[in-house]
Structure 1
C-alpha cells in the first residue's frame, strides 16, 4: 500500500517493545480523555448546586451544569485545528503529550474550584473557563490518537489496534462510573453533594499526569517522518482546500461520528436518567449497573476489531453499522413499556454502539492522507461531536423538562443510521477502497493469520 492510505509496512506483528509502547501511548490517553470528560457528566447532578446554585427563573442547577458540559464541546473544533496542525507539522507524539498535560491541569483546576458559597457567581464562570480549556485539549486528542494508530498499527492487526485504542474510551467511562459508585458507597449522596465530588476530579488529574509520562516514551510515527521528508516548503494545503479536496472523506467522518457520538452519549451516559424518567429504575441503581454494561461494551469492541482483521472490514461493518437502525426503536419501546428490563436493554444498546466504535479510529484515519490526517479528521470529528454529542445531555434534559422525552428514540435512531450511510460513502473514496480491498485480498491469501 501507499503512504496515502496509512499503511505501516516496515514492521508487523503484535510483538516488540515499540509496538507495545505505541499502543499504550494511544490507549492510555483515550482512557484519561474519556474518564475526565464523562466524569463531569455523571457527577453533574451532585456538584450542580455547589458550582451553579439552584438556579433562577426556572433554570435548575443541573441544566446549567449540562449547558457547561455542552460549552466544553464548542471549543473542541478549535482545539482540533490548533493541535491537529501541530500534530501534522511537528509530530504525533508532541501533540499527544501536550494535549494530555493540559487535560490533567484542567482536571486539577476543577477539583480545587471554590463553590458559590465562597466566590458567588465566579464559581460558575471559572467552571466554564476550565471546560473550554479542556475542550481545546480534547479536540486535539482524538484525531491525534486516530492518526497515530492508523500509522503505527501492523497491517494484519490494524483493527485490533483500533479497537484497543478506542477501547480506552470505554475503559475510561467504566472507570468514571466505578469512581461514582465508590464515592456513593463511601460518602453517600449527601457527601457527594457537599464536596465529595472533588475527589473524582483529583483522581482524573493524577491519571492524566501518568498518561503524560507514558507518552513521553512512545516513538514517533515512522510514516509521519516519511511524509514530512517528502513535503516541500510551503506545500501544505490550506485547511479549507483540504476539506474541499477530501469532501467525501469529510462527509463520511461526519456520518460515522454522528452515529457514534449520539449512540455513545445516549446508551452509555444518559440512559440511566432516561430510564429513571419513565420510573423503570432509580438513577443510582441504573448508574451502578453501567459498570457491567461498559465491561460488555469493551469486550464487544475487542471482538469486533479482531473479527474485522480476520474476516475483513466490510462483512463486519455491514452487520454492525446497519443493525442499530431497526434495533434501537424496538429496545427503547420495550424499556418504556416494561416488557424489557433496563439491564437487558442497556447491555444490548451498548453492544450495538460497540460494533461501530470498534473500528472507528482506523476506519476514519484511512480516509485522509498523512500530511493532513489529524487536522482533516479532527475538525470534522470535533465539530460533529460538539453539535450532536456534547449537546445531547442538554437536549435530553430540556425535552424532559418540557414533557417531550418521547422524541428521543426517533432522534437517536436517525443519528445511528449515519455509519450505515457512511460506509457506502467511504467505498467511493479511492484510497479507502484500495486499502480495504488490499487488506481483504491479504486475508484470502493467508487465512487464519489474525
Structure 2
C-alpha cells in the first residue's frame, strides 16, 4: 500500500525551465452506457412491432368499421404491412438525420416517435366514435412507427460499431441485437398476463390498449437511458464543415464506391431474415400444421429456445472477436444451409421434439443474427454508414422476411409444406455466396477498425 510523504520546501530545485503540467490521459471508455442505449432500443422496437401483430385480432373490431369481422382483421393486418413497406424509406430519412446530426440525436428522435405513436394508439378513439378516421389515424401512426423503426436498427448498428471497445465489438453486437429477442419474449409475456387477467373478451373490449401503453412506457424508459449516453467520438471526428454542394458530391462518391458492399448486405440479409422468421415466427405454425403441437403448446415451446438464443448470440460475438466476424458469419449461414432441412425432417417424423428442433435451428442462426449489425455497419464510411447499411438491410428484411410467413402459408395451403424449409436453405445459400462479395474498404478508419 502506498504511503504519503512530505516533501521539504527547502530542497534545491534544478535550474532550467519548469516542467509544464503532465498531460491528462483521456479516460478509456468501455462503451457500456452506449451498449445499454442501443440494446433498450431493440427491446422497444421488437415489442412495438410484435404487440401490434399479436393484438390485431383483438382491437380490429373496435378500430375498423363494418360488420364483417374477417374484413376488420384484414384491415388491422394492413396496418402491420404498411410498416414494412415504409421501413426502407425510413432508413433513408432517419439515416440521413443520424449521418448528419449524430447517432445519439437520431436514436433519441426515433424513440420519441415510437413511444409517442404507441401512446396515441392506446388513446385512439374507436370507429364507433370517429368512424373512418379511426383506422386512418391508426395506419398513419403505424406509418410514423415504420419510418422511425427503419432508421432505428441501422443507427444502433453504427452507434455500437463506433463506441464498442475493439476487442469486444462483436460481443456487444450480439448483446445489442439480443434486445430484439428479449423484446419478443417480453411482448408475449405482457399479452399472456392480459389474457389471463382480463380474458379474451376483456382484451377485445379495450384491454388491448394496455399493451400499447406498456409499449409507450418502454419507449420513455429507452429515451431516459439514451439521454445518459455520449455521442460517438468517431462520428464527431468525421464531421467536416463543407458547403452543401461539396457535401452532396462527396456523399455521391461514397455511395458509388459502396455499391458492391450494399449489394452484399442485401443478399446476406436475405438469408438471415428468412431463417429468422422461419425459426422465431413461423415454426410454431409449421409444427401445428403438421399436427405436432397445438397453437398454445407451440408458442410456449419457444420460450426456452429464445432465451438460449440470446446466450448463443453473445457466445457467437465472443468467438467472432477472436476469429474474425466474416468467417463466423459464413460458418453460421453455412450451417443453416446444411442443417435446416434435416432438422425439420426429424421434427416432422417425431424423432425430435419441437423445442429441440427449434433450439437446433437457433444455434445455427445465432452467429449470423448476432454479427450482422456491426459486420454490416463496418463496411461503410462513417459519413454514409447508417443510410448505406440501412437501405439494403431494411429492403431485404421487408421483401423476404416480412413476406416469408405468407409464402409459407401459401405453400402449405397447396400441400407443399415440405418446401418451406427448402426456401430457407435457398436463402442461406445465397447469403453464403454473398459473403464473398464483401470488400473491406481500403481506408480502415472508415470501417472503424
Identify the TM-score tier after normalising by the shorter chain.
0.7 to 0.9
Contact preservation (8 Å) 2:272, 2:333:
no
| Separation of aligned partners in 2, 1:234 and 1:173 | 44
Contact preservation (8 Å) 1:367, 1:432:
no
| Match 1:251 to one of 242, 263, 274 | 263
| 2:435 paired with 1:423 | yes
Aligned to 2:106: 95
| Separation of aligned partners in 2, 1:267 and 1:338 | 18
Q: Hey, which bits of structure 1, 4+ residues long, moved more than 6 A?
A: 10-13, 432-436
TM-fit CA distance, 1:220: 0.7
Q: Aligned to 1:325, what secondary structure does the other structure show? A: helix
| Separation of aligned partners in 2, 1:257 and 1:408 | 18
| Match 1:107 to one of 107, 115, 118 | 118
| Match 1:130 to one of 141, 155, 162 | 141
For residues 395-426 of structure 1, the C-alpha deviation after alignment (integer angstroms, 9 at most, x for no partner) is 44555556554443232222233432232111
Distance verdict in 2 for CA 1:292–1:432, change over 3 Å: farther
Distance verdict in 2 for CA 1:67–1:410, change over 3 Å: farther
Contact preservation (8 Å) 2:42, 2:177:
yes
Contact preservation (8 Å) 2:162, 2:233:
yes
Distance verdict in 2 for CA 1:243–1:402, change over 3 Å: farther
Aligned to 1:184: 195
| 2:223 paired with 1:212 | yes
Distance verdict in 2 for CA 1:226–1:77, change over 3 Å: same
TM-fit CA distance, 1:279: 2.2
Larger radius of gyration: 2
| Match 2:339 to one of 309, 324, 327 | 327
| 2:287 paired with 1:275 | yes
TM-fit CA distance, 1:319: 2.0
For residues 129-157 of structure 1, the C-alpha deviation after alignment (integer angstroms, 9 at most, x for no partner) is 22111100001101111111111111111
| Match 1:72 to one of 75, 79, 83 | 83
For residues 321-350 of structure 1, the C-alpha deviation after alignment (integer angstroms, 9 at most, x for no partner) is 210012112222233333322111222222
Distance verdict in 2 for CA 1:49–1:276, change over 3 Å: farther
Distance verdict in 2 for CA 1:129–1:435, change over 3 Å: closer
Q: Aligned to 2:221, what secondary structure does the other structure show? A: helix
| Separation of aligned partners in 2, 1:435 and 1:418 | 27
CA RMSD in angstroms, aligned pairs only: 2.9
Distance verdict in 2 for CA 1:402–1:46, change over 3 Å: farther
Aligned to 1:380: 392
| 2:358 paired with 1:346 | yes
| Separation of aligned partners in 1, 2:66 and 2:304 | 33
Is the deviation greater in 89-98 or in 413-422?
413-422
| Match 1:34 to one of 46, 49, 52 | 46
Q: Aligned to 1:323, what secondary structure does the other structure show? A: helix
Is the deviation greater in 40-49 or in 66-75?
40-49
| 2:328 paired with 1:316 | yes
Aligned to 1:413: 425
Distance verdict in 2 for CA 1:120–1:170, change over 3 Å: same
Aligned to 1:448: none
Contact preservation (8 Å) 1:177, 1:287:
no
Aligned length: 424
Distance verdict in 2 for CA 1:234–1:364, change over 3 Å: same
Aligned to 1:445: none
| 2:306 paired with 1:294 | yes
| Separation of aligned partners in 1, 2:136 and 2:400 | 24
Aligned to 1:260: 272
| Match 2:156 to one of 145, 157, 164 | 145
Consecutive unaligned residues in structure 2, runs of 5 or more: 1-24
